Amino acid sequence: MCRFLESISIVDGQIQRLPWHQRRVDDSLNTFYKGATLNLYAAVGERALQHTGKVKCRVLYDDDSCEVQFSEYSPRKIKTLKLIENNEIEYPFKFADRNAINDAFGQRGVHDDILIVKNGTITDSSIANIVFRRDEKWFTPREPLLKGTMRQYLVERGELTEADITARDLPSFHGFKLINALLAFASDEYPVSNIHF
């Protein structure tokens, strides 16, 4: 049985980018449990209204169960990344089982997080999609491990360009950011020299 996870940003009671989360839930259920449905707004909406400030909403679900938890959001400060090559890792859906990613994270050494290279191209960190700046233009890997909701939102708005990015390409960029449902595009930018081989 597959269980899935959605991490959703709630700001002053409002669900952020709900259509992108709902699309991912629909894709996951349609792929693994034909005919199963989950209405995220029905599961989260009323309870979200009780919260002020920025809150993390965690939805754990499968074909016949849904657990919703709210918690204070405190982002991890990630300034340095360790490149890790792993051609076997798969995470095309937001599975609750993250054992392979957690195992890779254990190889980070003294660095804050990892940056996974699969089949020669850069994918994701352990918790976020990555975006790179060249001059005033932003790029993101064409084939991430997981097409996150914030990433998809920004790609569809034309704010990110998808590209095949290798480790050799890193010096051509000026900086990077990590983004996910809770880490906004306005998050901190760091120099690519903070990515270590």
CA distance 191 to 197: 14
CA distance 38 to 26: 7
Q: What pLDDT is attached to residue 76?
A: 87
Confidence of residue 155 (pLDDT cuts 50, 70, 90): very high
CATH architecture under which domain 4-72 falls: 2-Layer Sandwich (3.30)
Q: What pLDDT is attached to residue 194?
A: 98
Residue 114: pLDDT over 90: yes
Q: What pLDDT is attached to residue 125?
A: 98
Confidence of residue 193 (pLDDT cuts 50, 70, 90): very high
Q: What pLDDT is attached to residue 19?
A: 97
Strand partners, 125: 115
Does 3.20.10.10 match the CATH number of domain 81-196?
Answer: yes
Q: What pLDDT is attached to residue 1?
A: 74
Give kind and range of the element (H or E) at residue 117. Answer: strand 113-118
Q: What pLDDT is attached to residue 91?
A: 97
Q: Which tokens in the block code for residue 81?
A: 């990344």
CA distance 144 to 192: 18
Residue 186: pLDDT over 90: no
Instruction: Kindly report the average pLDDT of the chain as a whole number.
Output: 96
**Average pLDDT of span 42-61:** 95
Q: What pLDDT is attached to residue 4?
A: 98
How many CB atoms neighbour CB 183 within 10 A? 21
- In this prediction the pTM is 0.94
**Average pLDDT of span 161-169:** 97
Residue 150: pLDDT over 80: yes
Q: Where are the domains of the chain?
A: 4-72, 81-196
**Average pLDDT of span 116-135:** 97
Residue 116: pLDDT over 80: yes
